[in-house]
Amino acid sequence: MILKNIISNKKTYIIAEVGVNHNGDLRKAIQFIKIAKDCGADAVKFQNFKAGSLVTKNAPKADYQIKNTRNNSSQFRMLKKLELLDKDYKYLIKVCKKQQIHFLSSPFDNESLFFLQNRLKLLTIKIPSGEINNFNLLNNINKTSVILSTGMSDMVEIAEAINFIFKKKIYNTKKNIRIINKKFHSKIKNKISILHCVTDYPVKDIYANLLAIKTLKENFDLEVGYSDHTAGIMAPCIAVAYGAKIIEKHITINKSDKGPDHKASLNPKEFMAMVKGIRQVEILKGTGIKKKEKCEFKTVKIARKSIIAKKEISKFEKFTLNNITTKRPGNGIPANLFFDYLGKISNKYYKKDDFIK
């Protein structure tokens, strides 16, 4: 699956983010693939990491992780339980192919990045928000296409990350974000997409800042998506209306399950409703071209007005404000020509409400 095929599609690309909601259980991971497919997702995404390479042994949990797992043990202990084996991911890819849904994953360390690029041969990877300034990791991205999540970052950090990934100064980062290497920028447009994201689980509505989708699009001139951590399904639908071409949302079987991300996830019924809502928004958005729609053709003649005799008009009488007006229906001389007819001479006799010809 190549990124340029995703972003060239007229439909929003919807990613069901499993992340670590499988709780380290391969059988659950397989179950999630089937659920994501049934819900209408285009891709199912996991997370590749080695706990020992991701965190120090004593790294504390984030507040939301403590709250959601109901446990204040170290990040290492939590993540170690959530690891899958390399062979598990190989099997998950086979399941995805059988289910006809794309497999995606996010690497959190160099070993996992190497595995995704060189062992699994993924053509597109997702860089998570926490790694956007990890140049040690970004330096090892090869020809793979990238979906870059931008939680916890500002415009300069995003520009610096993109410049570093492609080893070129594409964007100016000193005063304001602007393209300074247009030739090379045109080469990367099909190789990277950026996702607006706010990193909290769940994100309160006041922090969602969905208008940032437009800001990212205007400044970086790349396809922009949205990785959503708000409660419910409204934010992803609004994001699509604002131009998001990729939507990523966590999915779970049970929101009460133990794990850091379950409470900020959608259950299958909710995820299916989100997909339905997004597809409806796509239809509602239309083409953006203001024109008479096909469904309006039958109404034009009923709702618009024609030039009509206000009272009896004799032949050779002059048309004035006193003897002509505009009324429905609109299948006579259109009302926009009304003032063109004032002062002209009638060439026939008209009864009241006759169409002027």
The string of pLDDT tens digits covering residues 81-133 is: 899 999 999 999 999 999 999 999 999 999 999 999 999 999 999 999 999 99
Domain ranges of the chain: 3-285, 294-341
* C-alpha to C-alpha distance for 157 and 155, rounded to whole angstroms: 6
Task: Read off the pLDDT band of 4 (50, 70, 90).
Answer: confident
**Model pLDDT, residue 148:** 98
Mean pLDDT for the stretch of residues 200-227: 97
Which amino acid does the sequence have at 120? L
The burial of 91, by beta-carbon neighbours within 10 Å (0-12 exposed, 13-18 middle, 19 or more buried), is given as: middle
C-alpha distances (whole Å) from 260 to each of 27, 28, 104, 328, 331 are: 19, 16, 20, 64, 65
Write down the CATH number for the domain with range 294-341: 3.90.1210.10
Interior angle at CA 136, CA 76 and CA 78, nearest 5: 10
**Model pLDDT, residue 281:** 97
Backbone angles phi, psi at 274, to 5 degrees: -65, -45
**Model pLDDT, residue 140:** 97
pTM: 0.90
Q: What is the DSSP letter of 109?
A: S
What is the architecture, at CATH level 2, of domain 3-285?
Answer: Alpha-Beta Barrel (3.20)
Q: Please provide the average confidence, as pLDDT, over all residues in the chain.
A: 94
Q: What percent of the chain has pLDDT over 70?
A: 97
Cβ(236)–Cβ(3) under 8 Å?
Answer: no
